Chains A and B, each alone.
Chain A
Amino acid sequence: MKLEAELPLSARESRVTRLARAVLGRQPIGLAFGAPYALFIAVLFAYPLGLAVWMSFHRYFFTAPGVSVARPFVGLANYRAVFADPEVLRSFLNILIFLVINVPLTVGLSLLLATALNAAIPFRAFFRACFYVPYVTASVAMVAVWLFMFSSGGVVNSVLGPLEPVPSWLVNQNWAMPSIAIYVTWKQLGFFILLYLAALQNVPKELYEAASMDGASWWHRLRSVTIPGVRSVTTLITLLAIIVGANLFTEPYLLTAGGGPNGKSASPVLLMYQTGIEQNHPDFASALGIILVIGVLLIVGVQRLLQRNQT
């Protein structure tokens, strides 16, 4: 009788345990470890993203707490306004120019330099530190140096002599965005070299030895051993470079004095700052931001698809 009475309870306990295990997993302590980051993502990423999506479909401006104002649903009007704004369209073209120059340069140069720095060359640690210094130095300080170097009477033009562009680089409509792309490549290179150096440690030395024994040249070893060996890092670097490009703000703000000349180096994020923060039109800025996020996801998706097909 006693056993029969306990059976349903144990069955219930078993159901509860199964449910708890399904929700919490076999090691619930793992949730405790992961919770701070999940909270971080939820509060600082999911909530703002949700708010941005909501704002982009409403008439919205920032108000003091407790101020009740109408925030009517405006459908796609903010998105239409974004696509109708020639300055926004120009900023997307600017970013495209930036990515076309910056991404291949970043990937190519960081791989080449990492390969060189991975070899037994004199002062290797010194060179590694040299390439890393711009990455850890404040952008404002670096921008001041570049302003000096690329001004009309600067070092670069002195070296170029009659070949210097007129007007000078940063105020030249054709050269402003490429100059920023080159600056960002140089600034970020140290970090990407570091990623490649880590990846190169994992390429088996036997492969290089076998290739050498087969008579492979430096170029063939690079193409047939190194590049396939670091493919996953190349994917990561391409992804990061695209994200850096899409988020470009400091450089057009400081290096080309607010996206000049004539908006030829303005970036979408700079326009988001101007419209959303300075002019209190966060609805328009949010629509622009959401379009930017979708654009980056599309580019990354296509890039991953291409990479998967190659693999």
Chain B
Amino acid sequence: MKLRTIVVAAFTLSMGLAACGGGAAVSSSAISYGPISIWYSNNAQEITWGEQEVAAWNRLHPTQKVTGQQIPAAQSSEEVISAAITAGSEPCLIYNTAPAAVPEFEQAGGLVPLNDFPGAVSYIQTRTGPLASMYKSPDGKYYQMPWKTNPVVIFYNKAEFARAGISTTNPPLSTYSEFLATAKKVVSSGAAKYAIFPSPSSEFYEAWYDFYPLYAAESGGKLLVENGKATFDSPAGKAVAAFWAQLYKEKLAGNETITGDPFADGTAAMAIVGPWAVADYQGKEGSAKVNYGVAPLPTSNGNTSYTIPTFSDAKNVAMYASCKNRGTAWDFLKFTTSVNADGKLLTITGQMPMRQGLENLYASYFTANPDYKDFAVEAAHVIECPDIPNSIEIWQDFRNAWSKSVIFGTSSPNSALASAASAINKLASGSSSEP
């Protein structure tokens, strides 16, 4: 009996100790051609676009078949991709790669530098223009192809603005004081419970939809971290924090978690969203129809232009390390980012391809769909999450400080920004909070 117990225990222990093994050597896959698989977003319009592109490619290249599928469901795409990299089960290309997650995928050895392909750098830079430099990693290589952007602006509910006695064609939203006065009018008139309702969640990425767009506009396009130093402990950062803090303090912005979309259901009269939302609020996706208007982001001194910097909310394409037929993957990547494919992406999804001169190139589309024209202008003025070490940890630290000081008002926003900047400077230099 005892011997049996020892044998079983030894087996179990050996399984536990086997966990301590090391890895094998790196294998480099030569550029070759053949079947590949890709993932795209589970957004209905992007699925349509993806399926059409895959079908078009497969008709032309029967020996290099591409298999497309939606990215597997999880709490976030980044989590799925990260797990797939670790397991070596990721596809060749993922058309849903968040720029903020790229540094960690790089660190994991999960990405293929696109510079490996002849003419790739020139292709990326010619297509995207000067904005491409934001997607270059610290080692000078492109691990992601800038693909599409959703420049965020202010959407407002015209019916609720009308009930509050606010102009529905040119609402006063250009300065912080105008925005606050409009917000007060909306709430005090009972037109909506809240003026605006960005998600108050502590998730690291929520900062991209409240702080970051307004900071981009107020600072003239500064990234969160530049040259290894946090930039937001500055007059621009403090002005944005004070503006949001006042919205929360006066209950013009909601700080409770709610289910659903507060702008779509009328709980909030304004939202910070990108062109992806147009189809939703036009009721094309089975969601509630909202009679909305669009305004550019406010700044403390006033802004009425769509050339003001904003957050890109971009999703890019990256090639992953498990890919064997990289030649096909690169050719397919070029095929799906051609002028023709970008035009289809724009037409089907309403999202802006990261391509120079959108307005002229697709002039007929913007004439037929004027709702999208302002986004095309903004697309040339977006800023991105910086490509730096510990990117997610940096955004989480920032979000924690923001949540504490601005959303829940338990500390001074200025001191919270200062201490977050100090912590982020250490992380940006490459040293983690962990050993």
Point out the residue from B26, B108, B203, B400 that lies within 8 Å of A62, measured CB to CB. Answer: B108
Chain A: CB-nearest residue to B11:
A42
Q: Which residues of A contact B392 (CB under 8 A)?
A: 278-280
- Among listed B128-136, B183-191, B253-261, B369-377, interface-contacting one: B253-261
The answer on a CB contact under 8 Å between A38 and B23 is no
Chain B: CB-nearest residue to A278:
B392
Cα(A165)–Cα(B408), bound, Å: 15
Q: Which residues of B contact A23 (CB under 8 A)?
A: 3-4, 7
| Chain A interface residue bracket vs B | 35 or more
Those of B1-52 within 8 Å (CB) of chain A = 1, 3-4, 7-8, 11-13, 15-20, 22-27
Asked, given contacts A63-B109, A64-B108, A68-B24, whether A49 binds B257 with beta carbons under 8 Å apart, the answer is no
Is B434 located at the chain interface by the 8 A CB criterion?
Answer: yes
Is A168 located at the chain interface by the 8 A CB criterion?
Answer: yes
Is B322 located at the chain interface by the 8 A CB criterion?
Answer: yes
Asked, given contacts A42-B15, A66-B27, A170-B257, whether A277 binds B393 with beta carbons under 8 Å apart, the answer is no
- Among listed A103-111, A125-133, A201-209, A255-263, interface-contacting one: A255-263
Q: Which residues of B contact A92 (CB under 8 A)?
A: none
The answer on a CB contact under 8 Å between B259 and A147 is yes
Is A22 located at the chain interface by the 8 A CB criterion?
Answer: yes
Q: Which residues of B contact A48 (CB under 8 A)?
A: 19
The answer on a CB contact under 8 Å between B82 and A25 is no
Nearest-CB distance from A166 to chain B (Å)? 11
Nearest-CB distance from B195 to chain A (Å)? 16
The answer on a CB contact under 8 Å between B12 and A42 is yes
Cα(A153)–Cα(B256), bound, Å: 11
Per DSSP, are chain B's interface residues mostly helix, strand or loop, or mixed? loop
Asked, given contacts A46-B13, A258-B203, A278-B204, whether A51 binds B26 with beta carbons under 8 Å apart, the answer is no
Asked, given contacts A25-B1, A258-B202, whether A66 binds B25 with beta carbons under 8 Å apart, the answer is yes
Q: Which residues of A contact B13 (CB under 8 A)?
A: 46, 50
Point out the residue from B16, B23, B257 that lies within 8 Å of A257, measured CB to CB. Answer: B257
- Among listed A74-82, A229-237, A296-304, interface-contacting one: A74-82
Point out the residue from A38, A67, A257, A277 that lies within 8 Å of B26, measured CB to CB. Answer: A67
The answer on a CB contact under 8 Å between A64 and B433 is no
Is A152 located at the chain interface by the 8 A CB criterion?
Answer: yes
Point out the residue from B110, B203, B390, B408 that lies within 8 Å of A171, measured CB to CB. Answer: B408
Point out the residue from A41, A69, A171 that lies within 8 Å of B12, measured CB to CB. Answer: A41
Chain B: CB-nearest residue to A48:
B19
Cα(A66)–Cα(B28), bound, Å: 10
Is A228 located at the chain interface by the 8 A CB criterion?
Answer: no
Cα(A297)–Cα(B200), bound, Å: 36
Chain A: CB-nearest residue to B74:
A277
Nearest-CB distance from B146 to chain A (Å)? 23
The answer on a CB contact under 8 Å between A262 and B403 is yes
Those of B157-201 within 8 Å (CB) of chain A = 193, 199-201
Nearest-CB distance from B20 to chain A (Å)? 4
The answer on a CB contact under 8 Å between B390 and A260 is no
The answer on a CB contact under 8 Å between B434 and A24 is no
Cα(A22)–Cα(B5), bound, Å: 10
Cα(A41)–Cα(B410), bound, Å: 46
Nearest-CB distance from B123 to chain A (Å)? 25
Is A118 located at the chain interface by the 8 A CB criterion?
Answer: no
Q: Which residues of B contact A261 (CB under 8 A)?
A: 255, 403, 407-408, 410
Those of B410-435 within 8 Å (CB) of chain A = 410, 432-435
Those of B270-296 within 8 Å (CB) of chain A = none
Cα(A87)–Cα(B201), bound, Å: 16
Cα(A260)–Cα(B202), bound, Å: 7
Q: Which residues of A contact B400 (CB under 8 A)?
A: 87, 262-263
The answer on a CB contact under 8 Å between B16 and A47 is yes
Asked, given contacts A66-B27, A258-B202, A261-B408, whether A280 binds B396 with beta carbons under 8 Å apart, the answer is no
Nearest-CB distance from A151 to chain B (Å)? 5
Asked, given contacts A67-B109, A68-B23, A260-B200, whether A22 binds B3 with beta carbons under 8 Å apart, the answer is yes
Q: Which residues of B contact A283 (CB under 8 A)?
A: 434-435
Is A284 located at the chain interface by the 8 A CB criterion?
Answer: yes
Is A295 located at the chain interface by the 8 A CB criterion?
Answer: no
Cα(A167)–Cα(B408), bound, Å: 9
Cα(A171)–Cα(B390), bound, Å: 29
Point out the residue from A46, A51, A256, A278 that lies within 8 Å of B79, measured CB to CB. Answer: A278
Is A115 located at the chain interface by the 8 A CB criterion?
Answer: no
Q: Which residues of B contact A51 (CB under 8 A)?
A: 16, 19-20
Name, among A144, A171, A261, the residue most crowded by chain B CB atoms within 10 Å (CB to CB). A261
Is B404 located at the chain interface by the 8 A CB criterion?
Answer: yes
Is B86 located at the chain interface by the 8 A CB criterion?
Answer: yes
The answer on a CB contact under 8 Å between B110 and A64 is yes
The answer on a CB contact under 8 Å between B396 and A279 is yes
Nearest-CB distance from B2 to chain A (Å)? 8
Point out the residue from A62, A147, A254 that lies within 8 Å of B86, measured CB to CB. Answer: A62
A-B contacts besides A25-B4, A260-B201, A261-B403, 5 pairs, CB < 8 Å: A38-B11, A77-B435, A255-B257, A257-B199, A281-B432
**Closest A-B pairs by Cβ, 7 of them:** A50-B16, A258-B202, A51-B19, A67-B109, A77-B435, A50-B19, A65-B88
Contact residues of A with B, CB < 8 Å? Answer: 22-25, 38, 41-43, 46-51, 53-54, 59, 61-69, 71, 74, 77-78, 80-81, 85, 87, 144, 147-148, 151-153, 167-168, 170-171, 173, 254-263, 274-275, 277-281, 283-284
Interchain residue pairs with CB less than 8 A apart (22): A22-B4, A25-B1, A50-B13, A50-B16, A54-B20, A59-B435, A63-B107, A65-B322, A68-B26, A81-B435, A151-B258, A168-B256, A257-B199, A258-B202, A261-B407, A261-B410, A262-B408, A277-B82, A280-B104, A280-B108, A281-B393, A284-B434
Contact residues of B with A, CB < 8 Å? Answer: 1, 3-4, 7-8, 11-13, 15-20, 22-27, 76, 78-79, 82, 85-88, 104, 107-110, 193, 199-204, 255-259, 321-322, 390, 392-393, 396, 400, 403-404, 407-408, 410, 432-435
